Amino acid sequence: MFFKKLSILLLMILGSSFLFSQVKISADFDTGSIGSYQLVDSVWIKRAANDSILTLSYEIQSRFDPLNPIDTALRPSARWYHFRMDGVKDKQIFLTIRNSEVIRPFYSYDGVNYTRFEEAVNLLKGTVNTIFTQDTVYISHFVPYSYKRHKEKIDFWSLLPDVEHEVIGGSYLGLPIDMLTITDRTYSDINKRRVWIHGRSHPSESPSSWHLEAMIDEITSDSPFAKELRKNTIFFIIPFINPDGVIGGYSRSTSTGVNIEINWDRPDTLTMPEVKTLKRTLERVTSQRALDMMLNMHSQIANSITYWIHTAESTTDKFYKEQLLLSALTINYTPYYRPVDQRFSDVASRYAEGWIWDRFKDTTLAITFETPYTYYNEDRSGVWVSTENLKELAYSTLFAVSDILNLDRRSRIFADTENHRTGRSWSESDDTNNIFFGDKYLISQKKGARGSITIPNLSQGEYTLYKWITGPADKVFPEDTNIWQKEGYVTQRRDGRYRIRFRSTYEGEKFDSFLLIKKE
């Protein structure tokens, strides 16, 4: 009897060990990252007379980036995690993930298609508790945007009309840094606007890559809007400036531990090759003329979208106003961004925007744009971030860029009151305490003051007319100001001149610009 009981006990121990050994955790793949992990507990839970489930509890430590050898006081980040678990089918898996924010992360059964965990799976802060229906599962902080996908998209975009691809340099580990130059070369480059966009300096910020991918997809598309963008603009786009960090699954650094986002003011011996590559390329593309705009694409842990707007004290009143205008235009086109979400900082030479400011001052509108990982508008009960709504946001971003630089002159016709025809009932103002287009706007001196703007050549078609509502250049402005307000509809029966007539409804009313959007 003793030996029979011992045999049964050994079988139970060996059987349990065998079951536990079937769950394996790894991160040896593109964007994979995990620190240490351990099995904390295991137990069979009886759900019915003949139904038991094995529950396994693991503690996961997300991996810290290497110590930064240049900025030694900077604490390494461990935000990003992306690991694979094998042998999990029909087991209750309880994960406690340390060092990183765990707010409804993502899972995938094929490493390609990712789904955000339901709220019930992430009830306790820092945990995941669920039963997986397949044997292999990938778990990540957000939907990964891998180096493999980057290369596939570069290869695809490179074959499109109006796209030129070049390798502008190499990373510390020798991976290529790719740049796309996108413009319609059948039109002269002389008067084209020049827009630089780069992304993924911080590897964990995969939402920014999905956002930027959608922007590039639209810029290179056959839509009338995209064709106008390419006709009037040269885009210089570097989607991955830190390929080593992305493929290696780091959070905010390269494989060496350096945060290249703040590596722009270092002596040459302490400047990383990725930053040297960008500086060299910027010097080349600005050798004849400064950029009109630089967008530095990021994602942030705050549950909101934002631009990082440089203060007037560290730049100029005019530059501050222009940044607020771009921000307000973006707010105008998306429900996911509000005036209250704007963020502000002094311009600093350690950043790319500061490097540009030191050389070109307010000639180039250089700014950082941030997307969240979680939900928008600080509203947990609202819309959560997905690759689908990041695509929506891409259109909003491009509309804002188009408006401020006047890039679409066929279907989004911009008319500024600087070209007005008015009498003595108006005064002009350049007060940068307000957000407006160009250098000045109009103020009516009495109720009923009349004015007009002539568009020399408006093509035949149906249009919706909008008026810009000039509001205060405050850090948080009322949501019914600094917006395009719909005024009505316009029918242009034949190509030719069109006059926008306007009239003030009260003394002191501000008039700045109008926008005609053509019905396609």
The structure tokens 């590559």 sit at: 277
Do 200 and 252 touch, CB atoms closer than 8 A?
A: no
In the beta sheet, which residues pair with residue 428? 442
Task: Classify domain 412-518 at the CATH topology level.
Answer: Jelly Rolls (2.60.120)
CB neighbour list of residue 112: distance below 8 Å, 6 or more residues apart: none
Task: Classify domain 2-140 at the CATH topology level.
Answer: Immunoglobulin-like (2.60.40)
Give me the residues of the chain with pLDDT under 70, please.
Answer: 1-21
Phi-psi region of 348 (alpha: psi -120 to 50; beta: other; left: phi over 0): beta
The predicted pLDDT at position 428 comes to: 93
SS (H, E, C) 388-444: HHHHHHHHHHHHHHHHHHCCCCCCEEEEEHHHEEECCCEEEECCCCECCCCCCEEEE
Q: One-letter amino acid identity for 222?
A: D
Residue intervals in the chain for CATH 2.60.40.3120: 2-140
Each residue's pLDDT tens digit, 446-471: 999 999 999 999 999 999 999 999 99
Q: List C-alpha distances in Å: 7 to 16, 44, 278, 440.
A: 14, 20, 68, 91
The predicted pLDDT at position 4 comes to: 43
The predicted pLDDT at position 17 comes to: 44
Rounded to whole angstroms, the Cα distance separating 377 from 298 reads 17
Task: Classify domain 147-405 at the CATH topology level.
Answer: Aminopeptidase (3.40.630)
Rounded to whole angstroms, the Cα distance separating 60 from 81 reads 10
Rounded to whole angstroms, the Cα distance separating 86 from 84 reads 7
Residue intervals in the chain for CATH 2.60.120.260: 412-518
Task: Indicate the SS3 state at residue 130.
Answer: strand
Do 512 and 442 touch, CB atoms closer than 8 A?
A: yes
The predicted pLDDT at position 8 comes to: 40
Rounded to whole angstroms, the Cα distance separating 419 from 368 reads 32
Each residue's pLDDT tens digit, 45-62: 888 878 889 999 999 999
Whether this model's pTM surpasses 0.85: yes
State how beta strands 92-98 and 127-131 pair. Answer: antiparallel
CA atoms within 13 A on the CB side of 133: 1
Do 500 and 452 touch, CB atoms closer than 8 A?
A: yes
The predicted pLDDT at position 51 comes to: 85
Rounded to whole angstroms, the Cα distance separating 182 from 32 reads 32
Least Cα distance to 137 among 172, 86, 80, 69 occurs for 86
The predicted pLDDT at position 427 comes to: 93
Each residue's pLDDT tens digit, 183-235: 999 999 999 999 999 999 999 999 999 999 999 999 999 999 999 999 999 99
CB neighbour list of residue 321: distance below 8 Å, 6 or more residues apart: 432, 434, 435, 436, 473
Cβ-based neighbour number of residue 462 at 10 Å: 12
